[in-house]
Amino acid sequence: MLLIKKIDCYGQLILVTCMLLLMPFLYFIRVEIGLIILGCWQLISAILNTYCFIDTGYKKTIIIYWGLCIADLGLFLLALLFENTISIDYTMIIFWIAIGVAVFIAGYYLRIYYRLINLLTLRNELDGLTKSKH
């Protein structure tokens, strides 16, 4: 199970690296597509790993992650709902703020996920040491 988590985490890091390296060539329009893919990937990963975060003592960090996700989704919905009633300039400001928050959330999730993997790796090593002494 730990191997799957490592593949998941490093796959996300590879996607982020590709997005950053290709940004000068694809500008921001194509980076948004990569951000949508990364966001969906991270949501699925977070859904599958929420219990593991809670079980290992990272309950507060995963709750913060879910709170940020809900708030960011609210910003996107706000921009979408008021698209026709307020100025397009204000809508775009809200939209780009939501994009900036999404980038922050992606970095935050990668950070806490990496910490979780390190903790699980350490636990496995310690379990191996304690089993070998008996």
Q: Tell me the two tokens of residue 93.
A: 């400001």
* Predicted pLDDT of residue 29: 61
Question: How far lies 19's CA from each of 14, 39, 78, in Å?
Answer: 9, 13, 27
Predicted confidence (pLDDT) per residue in 27-75, tens digit = 656 667 778 888 899 999 999 999 999 999 999 999 999 999 999 999 9
| pTM confidence score | 0.84
Predicted confidence (pLDDT) per residue in 72-106, tens digit = 999 989 888 887 787 878 888 888 898 889 989 99
For residues 126 and 52, the model is more confident at 52
Burial environment of residue 62 by CB neighbours within 10 A (0 to 12, 13 to 18, 19 or more): buried
Q: Tell me the two tokens of residue 23.
A: 């940004």
